[in-house]
A and B are shown apart, each in its own frame.
Chain A
């Protein structure tokens, strides 16, 4: 069976190449491009996909109520005609007419409600179930222990074919803007009726359809000619090829075997501008790297503010981003990301002195803060992905140089991400540890609440502050966006005084592409905007 599939696949490639070559010169709307990909960790269900590689596919085959503008990150209506609320808690959603799934089925209010109920229900073990936790009745379908007592969320009601209402458990003024996240995508009936078949070849309502999917090696997506949305694909399709090493993808790109590599390996960052010239993109993405402190450890916890700020001031972010990352990172001066924009809540310099490199002040602060516990500090991170080892060494050297002691800071590399996560969730950290954050949706709330609110899902250091929690609650209840943002920023100022996590740098997305392509951009999630790419 497999042999036959491959043979057929090979014929398709040949045919595709033939058309691509035949087009010549000008942009060819039927030409297919190839792009690097990683094997998704989880089955491709929308509410079960929590990493970039699976998200890449979902962004091509699904469109939700809202869609984030690839340039500005602003949440714009896509399938939503209207999302209305009088009190920031009860919402009425109207779905646009004329949308269908690629199998012809109409996208209705029920397509959303069924999908969200599926995502929230504990029995389905969806990893993004918590996205639905603000919807009324979540505690019934997803109790923290025991079995669910309801199958559907009581807060969701289908009014008619195109309308449904949502009742939230609390006021949440920016809730509609979270709806661009893939977990909120609508699902066709075939998802529920024949789940296994759907997983083998997912069907959605986005600008592309899946032509074939060989798990672990390749997925071929083709333009959906009858796509009803405004953002129709400008190319014939995308072949996602699984690479186990981004260096190989880069080499393939250089040799003309691959059209688009969206993850330039750290060691090649120095060469990329030289190798690729104009075809190298490097633009801000909604990713912030921080070093979090184990607040549960008395050596680093309450009362150790000076020590924490001292360490922050001992790190020469400017030099590290230049020498190690070739300026593909920008020194961080707040706890959000530049992709939010000024109106969205990004405020350069909010951190103030606490994020400025000043070895003398650092030494003084650390001394006043009681000195490093035992005269030593150990930075911990997993080293199986990313180039964490290099920057951790550099951060340590920076701290050592500031303190004038070559043996003050050491790095504790952890072999696997799994082991690392287990140590974090088991509260076994004894020093600062890496805490990267890639935003789910471009809202300041997403950079603050999940990370620093008391007992929030990604508050790995277990930092807790009543004033901060209060400000977050106030900001969420605020109906005026401007006032909500400034309240969040007030909360952020507490972070600058308390330093529960040291902001290191804002990460850029980087990509390179072949001469055949034009109009290649990355969205704020550092995923290529595939439908806009032109192939010649």
Chain B
């Protein structure tokens, strides 16, 4: 187990190098960022050349990459075009996004699993169909519609919340954005739980548990749910990326200055230090999350062992 974890942590090194290079290359492929800095005017060639030289953009790709990596090992992630160090941007954005993601995951877990269990146990009945239709609505109405609609209803019509999140982004202000962010994933979690439950409810160990005379809720939580959670946990592990880096739409709607927003800005402005820095941290979060998921497999299903 300990060795397994250590091995997984060591695998981070090649992934780190691979990701930084891939993303660096992709931002490079987006093209020259300097022309856009001049707005609707053609850049003055002399100034543009100076800016390119300063940003190392006049060198071949591999030199740029080595230079960038060299900086990173000195703890310098470069600067965004408005002059802010990327490290500062990260220090501001990550805590906000982590909180938002946490809220979303908790909502997914609570509502997704509850609805899924209900649907799975009452398979084919009205409740199950009801949950299915909710799922359909969530999938086919884009996040910006649900986001704006809920923001408008809660913020303007009913005046229950502030429509935008303040820069400090406390947890209570993140409840609605978290819910909006969780919606699509909620559909997945619900359906996955429902299917697993429906499948396992007829499994032998459940029958055994029932036969032993265990109370119903105990059978559901200890036996049925525990064995049905592996796909759900796996899904959430894969979903962290969508929740953190892909929260562009939700972060825009609620004016949250988080990772999704910074990434989007960085991409639109072809700013490689911002994009590479954020994505690299994002990938490290994945690695840790997926390691956690793999370890959870063993907890949920004791037959699974790691060496």
Contact = CB atoms under 8 A, between A and B. Distances in A.
A and B touch in the complex (CB under 8 A): yes
Interface of A: 2, 6, 10, 39-43, 50-51, 122-123, 125-127, 129-130, 142-145, 199, 214-218, 242-245, 247-249, 251-252, 254-255, 257, 384, 416-419, 421-422, 424-425, 435-438, 450, 457-460
Given A257-B163, A418-B269, A436-B40, 11 more contacts: A42-B81, A51-B39, A125-B54, A127-B43, A215-B88, A245-B252, A248-B164, A248-B252, A251-B156, A418-B32, A458-B40
Interface string B204-242: 000000000000000000000000000000000000000
A127 B31 contact: no
A187 B54 CA distance: 25
Contacts of A6: 167-168
B254 A248 contact: yes
B32 A422 contact: yes
Given A6-B168, A122-B46, A245-B252, A127 B37 contact: yes
A416 B46 contact: no
B59 interface: no
A142 B156 CA distance: 53
Contact of A425 (B35, B39, B162, B251): B35
Contacts of A435: 40
B114 interface: no
B215 to A, nearest CB: 48
29 contacts: A2-B92, A6-B167, A41-B81, A41-B269, A42-B81, A42-B82, A50-B39, A50-B41, A127-B39, A127-B43, A129-B44, A129-B47, A130-B41, A142-B47, A145-B46, A215-B82, A242-B257, A243-B255, A244-B261, A245-B253, A249-B164, A251-B148, A254-B163, A255-B159, A257-B164, A416-B30, A416-B268, A418-B31, A425-B42
B89 interface: yes
A255 B82 contact: no
Contact of A251 (B33, B43, B155): B155
Contacts of A199: 83
A217 B168 CA distance: 10
B60 interface: no
Contacts of B151: 248, 251
Contact of A127 (B38, B152, B269): B38
Contacts of A10: 168
B84 interface: yes
Interface of B: 30-33, 35-47, 49-51, 54, 81-84, 88-89, 91-92, 148, 151-152, 155-156, 159, 162-164, 167-168, 251-255, 257, 261, 265, 267-270
Nearest to B270: A418
Given A130-B44, A421-B36, A425-B35, A217 B270 contact: no
Given A216-B257, A248-B253, A458-B41, A255 B35 contact: no
Contacts of B159: 255
A435 B44 CA distance: 18
B91 A244 contact: no
Given A251-B155, A416-B30, A244 B255 contact: yes
A125 B47 contact: yes
Nearest to B248: A244
